[in-house]
Structure 1
Amino acid sequence: MNIRNTIFSNESHEMISAFNKAQETFKYFWRELSWEYRRIIPAFDLAYVKCAFIQEHSNSSDSPLIEYMWISQIDFDGTTISGQLMNQPNYIDNVQAGEIIEQPFEVIVDWMFLTQDQVYGGFTIQEYRKQLNDSERKEYDASWGINFGDPNNILFVYDQEEHPENLIEHPMCEKMLDSFL
């Protein structure tokens, strides 16, 4: 089974683009989170990764069930993402909320972190929000307790708009370089 083809099978072109953008930019999320784990005083209010969870039908030739859910307490070893499942599944029954899970990188469909009231990532969220009118967007944001901002302006790294060079190197890394020289 090709995992990506399975995940993409019932999705719109726009959502597939959001999934792909999340995977292409995951390196920024992981870099930011790696530095966050080194901080004495945490700066992130949240850091989540959304994965596609797939469950084959036990006695059927139907397409597998797919459910997209968020995980927290993220770890990544270069090929496998792990963390604690935040959502209670609605369709599948092979995982439960609170479980520590491990998934291959290929099933990552989104990531986001929040710091200083600014959201970074959230590609599938923003794609969904594009379909909403202003009132519905406000209601959606209120349900999360987060202002997701402009759905057409997704940031990848902290302070990116004022310091685009942060896309190249993390500021904490630059500050530490002098101690190694």
Structure 2
Amino acid sequence: MTGQIIYSVKGESDELKAAVASAQATFKFFWRELSWEARRIVKSLDMAAVKMSFVLDADDPDIPAVENMWVTDIEFDGESISGVLMNEPRWFTSLKASDPVTLPLAALNDWMYVRGGHVYGGFTVDALRSGMSTEERDAHDRAWGLDFGKAGSVEVVPAEEGQTPRLLSRNLDRAQDRQTLAALERSEHPMALNMRDKVEEGLRQHPEVIREPDAGGWLLLHREVLAGNHTVVRALLRHGADPLTSNCNGQTSLALARAAGWPRIVDLLEGKDTDYQGPVESGGFPVWPIGLALIAAALAWLYYLVIEPVRAAAAGLSNHIPGPINYAAALLILGFGLAGMGPWYYRLRLRTPKAGSSRVLDLVAMIGVMGLGLVLHDYLGSYLISHR
């Protein structure tokens, strides 16, 4: 996530502050994992939680300005994190364990999920462990009963089977860290690849899930964009999801993708994904042959409307040109044919706002074609009159 404020405690070490910044920068990987955990019938995670900074309003100098506490049962809407408090507060007396809480994303202090006893995330935990002696660190890990890995490095996603774990430095300040993060941002969650066919089948059978917002006012497209699920986002777009529709917070899919930091999805929504071929065709028949036939029919009609009267005038024969609606209709058919020859028009269309049930580009194209038809008719009429 980008541009987040960090709530810090007076006297907090620079190491802990840097760890908080790293946790905020990589929170999207935590949320992507939780998006797939919610789909699993048999749960894979032993635990998933975030550490949040609760600001205290106290005059007592012995009480810190911020109390950091772990929260589980996480929900995220792109702006705020909600969940249930895991531990009893020490200073924040208005809360108790198991209370529901909601805080802005800027209050995120750390995140962590556990699979098979192994910890992913935990940047501030690593900062604390790195400052311990070997004996203290071992005691700490035994108390948690978890494998935190080597002190000084953090994993944010599990390694693929048979692959070396992709380790990051806690401060994310190495060139290798930047390369690893860039690769992870453009990678897919394994479940997204495994469920590709099921997702397509589900959208075909239940198209209503594409257009109907959930109880929170979000489309499925918004949820999948925020979670960074590129494969699902592509499938939704292919089945007609509208990327320009805003959620209840006024955020479009593109705004969510940029805020979360998913460059591959940003490319897709901006029409820069060269592998994306636009929406699926109804009936499974490719559109380009129809487009080609429309182009041929329009050109033949325009030949009759334009070339034949000009040839007749050149030969000194009397002629009569059809009404302007014929020229507009021929140009309109030509436009439909060109739009059907590839995804270029669809990609351009997605980048224009909606006007009622249509796109601005559609309206501009229709008006432009009608105007061009009138101009062509009038110009041809003037030409023929001058050559009589």
1:13-33 CA-partner distances (Å, limit 9, x unpaired): 110110000000000000001
The structure carrying a bigger helix percent of its residues is: 2
**Which whole-Å CA distance do the structure 2 matches of 1:124 and 1:109 have between them?**
8
Change (3 A) 1:54 1:43: same
Q: Give 1 or 2 for the bigger CA radius of gyration.
A: 2
Counterpart in the other structure of 2:223: none
Counterpart in the other structure of 2:194: 175
Q: Which has the higher contact order (CA 8 A, sep 6+)?
A: 1
Q: Does 1:20 align with 2:21?
A: yes
Change (3 A) 1:124 1:163: closer
Count of aligned pairs:
177
Counterpart in the other structure of 1:66: 66
Pairwise CA distance, 1:166:
5.8
1:79-133 CA-partner distances (Å, limit 9, x unpaired): 1101110111112213211101001000001000110222100111110000111
1:149-164 maps to which residues of 2 (within 5 A)? 149-159=149-159, 162=164
**Which whole-Å CA distance do the structure 1 matches of 2:97 and 2:139 have between them?**
25
Secondary structure at the aligned position of 1:112 is classed as strand
**Which whole-Å CA distance do the structure 2 matches of 1:76 and 1:18 have between them?**
21
Q: Which moved more, 1:41-50 or 1:82-91?
A: 82-91
TM-score, normalised relative to structure 1? 0.88
Q: Is the 8 A contact 1:65 1:92 kept in 2?
A: no
Q: Which moved more, 1:143-152 or 1:20-29?
A: 143-152
Pairwise CA distance, 1:163:
7.3
The CA RMSD measured in Å over matched residues stands at 2.3
Q: Which moved more, 1:13-22 or 1:145-154?
A: 145-154
**Which whole-Å CA distance do the structure 1 matches of 2:165 and 2:129 have between them?**
27
1:36-70 CA-partner distances (Å, limit 9, x unpaired): 1110100000001000011212xx49697311110
**Which whole-Å CA distance do the structure 1 matches of 2:6 and 2:188 have between them?**
33
Secondary structure at the aligned position of 2:109 is classed as strand
Change (3 A) 1:6 1:126: closer
Q: Which moved more, 1:39-48 or 1:154-163?
A: 154-163
Pairwise CA distance, 1:6:
4.7
The structure carrying a bigger strand percent of its residues is: 1
Identical amino acids, percent of aligned pairs: 37
Q: Is the 8 A contact 1:52 1:68 kept in 2?
A: yes
Q: Does 1:109 align with 2:128?
A: no
Change (3 A) 1:4 1:95: farther
Change (3 A) 1:39 1:100: same
